[in-house]
Structure 1
Amino acid sequence: MPPATLDEFTRGVRDIAPLAFGVTIYGLAFGLLAAQAGMGAPSTGAMGLFVFAGSSQIVATERLVAGAGTFGAIAAGLALNLRILLMTASLRTEFAGRPFWQVLLGVHLTTDENWALMHATRAKGNAAGYWYLMGGGACLMAVWIAATMAGADFAGALPDPVSIGMDFAFTAAFIAILRNLCRGAEDARPWLVSVGAAGGLALLAPIDPSWALACGGIAGAVTAGVARHE
């Protein structure tokens, strides 16, 4: 790996490290849930390696535990993961001209955290490109797999994260990310539309909350796209 590429990759790892704490707690919580669904540490780790979509993995596993069946679990996970299509579509410049394997790797390692951190870093005037994104994604994947396997392996010995208030760690990480991305009042409309659509559908429509989240994300993205062309 060329020195410049390695430096960018390393900066991605370094900058994402504080957010990895929230992912650790989130991963332990998922490991406990996976154990309830009858999954052991190896299968939990394999799921994280090949799927690597934390919120979607949790929703799908919750559906299994609730008795929704395999199809219902997969549908719920895919619905929540629709937002990744919009996120990776915004990375056309980063993927342009790269070998197909790098594009596939980039799509696989793109998460809410490293995608948002890349844009937040750029908003501060610092360079952040493909390998910065990959560094953050590789770090998060390693932490996620280790935490989920530990949670599944030691399910009986770990406390419920909700009982000690640590379930909020992931939410707090996202609040910090959004705060860094916010450019002021011009960003308020798509965020409000997204929150309103997701909340309204979750409360009023007879659909799974994961579909409401996906619809809210799409509504916010469309609103931002329309505003950009006005």
Structure 2
Amino acid sequence: MGRNLQTTERLRPVDLARGHGLSTQAVRNYEEAGILPAAERTAHGYRTYTPLHARALRAFLALVPGHGHRTATAIMRAVNEAATEEALRLVDESHAQLLDDRRTLQAVERALRDLEPAEAATPTAGMFIGTLARQLGLRPATLRTWEHAGLVRPSRDPRTGYRVYDEADVRDARLTHQLRRGGYLLEQIAPLITQVRAAGGTEPLEAALRDWHGRLSARGRAMLTGAAELEAYLRARG
């Protein structure tokens, strides 16, 4: 089947480009990147493509929404280099990342259920920046960046001047960490943290979580579409 797709029809770069809403330069770039198999050349040096190249391009474009451009490129390179196991491993890694993101979302939802009004948090003997950074798996510089963005508001030890994070600060830091893992920018997180502090106002955070659910579902479905096109390409290659 793969041989038939390669030999029954010849396509110009412009044919391949127009069929997928691309420029001819983009098609050439995809070939040079290994996303498409190498094209044959005419006696005058012009590229000629086949339906197999069109199928490869469809597979790549279908993989991008679910896996991202970099991973989709790596998958197609592996397939075109006859390293199918490597391609499948990359697909598996993307699915594992999606599963991890779903678990992160569940953790955020659990955190939301456990949120209390800011005034309910009683300042106690707090946590220093190094300890909190280690617990979250971050660098202290990241916590300082979050402080500058208003996401955490540690007090200062009156004797040493060190930052001290009380229970509310730790909660805000954990919630920021979880939302950052979910792909949210600091400027998107700031109003959510502010609302959480405002005595139980959680509607913006709940709306963000609904949006997050939608984006994860869209990625999952995009991965299914990409898998179908990739399988069709693998079959076409024979």
Fold agreement, TM-score > 0.5: no
Higher strand residue share: 2
> Which structure has the highest helix share of the two?
1
Give the shorter-chain TM-score range. under 0.3
